[in-house]
Amino acid sequence: MPTNVEPPSKTELEGTLGSALPLWAGIIQSAETTYAPLTKLWKPSKAEFGRMCLLQQKKRTLLYLTPDKNKVWIAIVLGERAYQLALSSSLPDGIKKLFREAKPYAEGRGIRFPIDSQSDLSTVAKLLEIKTAPAH
């Protein structure tokens, strides 16, 4: 497991995100409202920013967020049950296509995509809802 790193300063985060700062705040606020208590854990990343933020509920990582110029990269891993739920959900076709093309691993299928508009926030909320849906 990679070691934790210092969170970026507010200035550093704002400088990188630019116009995507409200999206970053919206994703975190929405996740905290629905899945509190959440832990924000910063890990090293190969992305230009050099770090990514893991949003964790207890010890379970719900979402990976990577700041970028005027956008936020989202990564999420769904287990097989959640993957099937995602394919039969109202998620955008582009997201379903990413999941269908994702290689299955023991921990699930992971996808990564950029968020650059407010309309994308509902997609992130839907993905989190699917990931945390209780087994029936």
Residue 69 lies in a domain: yes
Q: What is the pLDDT of residue 127?
A: 98
pTM comes to: 0.93
The residue segments making up the domain with residue 116 are 10-131
Residue 34 lies in a domain: yes
Q: Is the pLDDT higher at 92 or at 1?
A: 92
Residue 54 lies in a domain: yes
Q: What is the pLDDT of residue 2?
A: 52
Q: What CATH number is given to the structural domain containing 72?
A: 3.90.1150
Quote the DSSP letter at residue 47. Answer: S
Mean pLDDT, range 64-70, rounded to an integer: 97
Tokens standing for residue 62: 């719900």
Q: Is 7 helix (H, G, I), strand (E, B) or coil?
A: coil
Identify the H or E element spanning 13. Answer: helix 10-17
**Separation between Cα atoms, residue 4 and residue 1, nearest integer Å:** 9
Neighbour tally for 26: CB within 10 Å: 18
Tokens 């959440």 — which residue? Answer: 38
Mean pLDDT, range 49-71, rounded to an integer: 96
Each residue's pLDDT tens digit, 25-34: 999 999 999 9
Q: Per the structure, how many domains does the chain have?
A: 1
Residue 136 lies in a domain: no
Residue type at 13 in one-letter notation: L
Residue 5 lies in a domain: no
